[in-house]
Each structure stands twice: as C-alpha cells, then as structure tokens.
Amino acid sequence: MGAEHFKFNFTEDQVRELLKGNSDADDWYDAMCEILPLWDITTIPRVAGFIAQCGHESRNFTVLTENLNYSATALDQIFSKYFSRAGRDANQYHRKPRAIANVIYANRMDNGPTESGDGWRFRGGGILQLTGRYNYTQFGKALDMSAEEAVDYVRTKKGALDSACWFWDTNNINKYCDAHDIKGMTRRINGGYIGLEDRKKHWIHALEVLGGEWDPSKVVYETVRRGSRGPTVTAVQEALGIIADGIFGPGTEAHVKEWQAENGLVADGIVGPKTIAAMLGE
C-alpha cells in the first residue's frame, strides 16, 4: 500500500503539520500510507477523524504504552475501588506500575488473577490503548497472531496503527467521519464525551490541513419512533447506552420514554426535535 491508495493528495507535510513536535512524523506518515488503506481509511473525513482522535488519545502519537506510574494518593483517588475501598494499602503500590496494573486489571477482560501478571502483560498499548487479554486476543485473530505476539506488535508504529484501525473498523467509526459527526465518533471511542472540545479542535484542524472543510450541517437527525430504522435510531441508542442495532423496537421506546421523563420532556417515546436537541445536542 502507499499514498496512491488515498482518495486525496496525502503528503508528508500534512502529517508533519498534524503531528507538530513529533520527531517521528515522517515515519508515522510512511506507516499510515501502508496501514490505513487496508482498513478503508482513505478519504479526507476518515483520515482527519482518525488522526484527530488518535492524536488526542496518544498525546500526538507519542504515547504507545499506558503510563501506570501512580502515587499512593492518586491510587486512592482514581482507583479507590481497588485500593481504599478494597482495604488495600496504596502505599505498598506507590510508583510501582507493574504491581498497579496487576491489581486494577485482574480478573476482567479475560485477564487472570493478580498473580498471573496479565494486568501488566496486557496493559494499554498503541495509540488507542488496546487493553486486556480479550482485546489483544481479538485483535491478534484479525492478524493471525497470538495475544502475546500482539502485545509487542501494538507498541510499534505499524502495530499501533493496525490496532487502532482494527478498533475503528470493529466500531464502524468511518460512518461517523463520513457524516461529520464528531460527537458520534467520540462516544464510540471514549464511551462518553470526555475531551470533546479538544477532539473537535483537532478534527477541524485536520480537515483544514488535509484539504477538507468542517460542515456540521452534514449531521442530520430525523424524527424517529417505534418502527423506525437507520442512523438516527443508532445515535439515539448509543446516547441511551443500549444495544445500537439501528432498529427502534419496544425496548428502545421504553428507554426513550424513561429518558424523556427524567429530563423534563413529554414521555411519548417519540424522538422529535426537542428530544434530539436535548439528547444529541443538535
């Protein structure tokens, strides 16, 4: 694969501008030319969205391994579930990343218990911080490698891009880029809207650098109700935190009514202009 596989003129200078301050920008460009087309990230909106979101998550493509060098105070504040509330003395884990990882990631995401070392082995890696044995296993299957092999691969430039693209493809984030839906792509990546303004700033800048244009008018939501199908239904389901299959059935209707009642709206189960504005910010 190469630059010729993009549907616009994708250049090294553009990546240098977008990754300003990153001394490896040229290497990242070469890796992007090889990896992104494999995952159909080849248009201006898709490449802009990818670089903007990954740049936000990885401090401009400079962090490929999760930093778990927390102080005892920070552990009790951020991970109280595993320390103060669990009766575990955080002072014994002060500035000990390996031990911290083995505690906070034990017995979840298919990781083994603390003593297995899975927490540290499968800690966050790559520009979208792939985490947990389950995710490394699933990513590895896509590339015909073991979870353990994937651990090392995601900490290389190509592997960091490949793992982020795998996550991107698995969550169908290209559709949000195509629709210029910065909130939609952020929610799929983050699970919420943490850092939305910074992500939006990066997204608009990336579009400008790559030769595109921010066009919020492309995000169009229609009134939906029981029996409706399509992207608006999917967006509503994602906002509600339920299975997003794009089909507005009785379950979705019940969740909509509950949400409307909790937010001071008429609980009729119809997602019209007022509910769309309150729920989706449009």
CA dist 247 → 64, 228, 258, 260 (Å): 37, 6, 18, 19
pLDDT at 215: 64
Q: Does residue 18 contact residue 212 with C-beta atoms inside 8 Å?
A: no
pLDDT at 179: 86
Q: What is the pLDDT of residues 220-257, one digit of tens each?
A: 677 899 998 877 888 899 889 998 888 999 999 999 99
Tell me how far apart the alpha carbons of residues 19 and 54 are, in angstroms, rounded to a whole number. Answer: 11
Token pair 């579009």: residue: 207
pLDDT at 218: 61
DSSP string covering the chain, please?
Answer: --GGGSSS---HHHHHHHTTT-TTHHHHHHHHHHHGGGGT--SHHHHHHHHHHHHHHTTTTT--B------HHHHHHHSTTTTGGGT--GGGGTT-HHHHHHHHTTTSTT---GGGTHHHHT--BTTTTB-SHHHHHHHHHHTT--HHHHHHHTTSHHHHHHHHHHHHHHTTTHHHHHTT-HHHHHHHHHSS-TTHHHHHHHHHHHHHHHT----GGG-----B-TT-BSHHHHHHHHHHTS---SB--HHHHHHHHHHHHHTTS--SS-B-HHHHHHHH--
pLDDT (tens, 9 = 90+) of the chain, 282 residues, equals 788 999 999 999 999 999 999 999 999 999 999 999 999 999 999 999 999 999 999 999 999 999 999 999 999 999 999 999 999 999 999 999 999 999 999 999 999 999 999 999 999 999 999 999 999 999 999 999 999 999 999 999 999 999 999 999 999 999 999 988 888 898 888 877 788 889 989 999 999 999 977 665 566 677 899 998 877 888 899 889 998 888 999 999 999 999 999 999 999 999 998 998 888 865
Q: Does residue 83 contact residue 76 with C-beta atoms inside 8 Å?
A: yes
pLDDT at 192: 77
**Can you give the pTM of this predicted structure?**
0.74
pLDDT at 217: 59
pLDDT at 183: 84
Helix axis angle for 182-190 and 196-210, nearest 10°, is: 120
- CB-based contacts of 240, cutoff 8 Å, min separation 6: 252, 255, 256, 259, 279
Q: How would CATH label the architecture of 3-63+155-216?
A: Orthogonal Bundle (1.10)
Domain ranges of the chain: 3-63+155-216, 72-121, 231-280
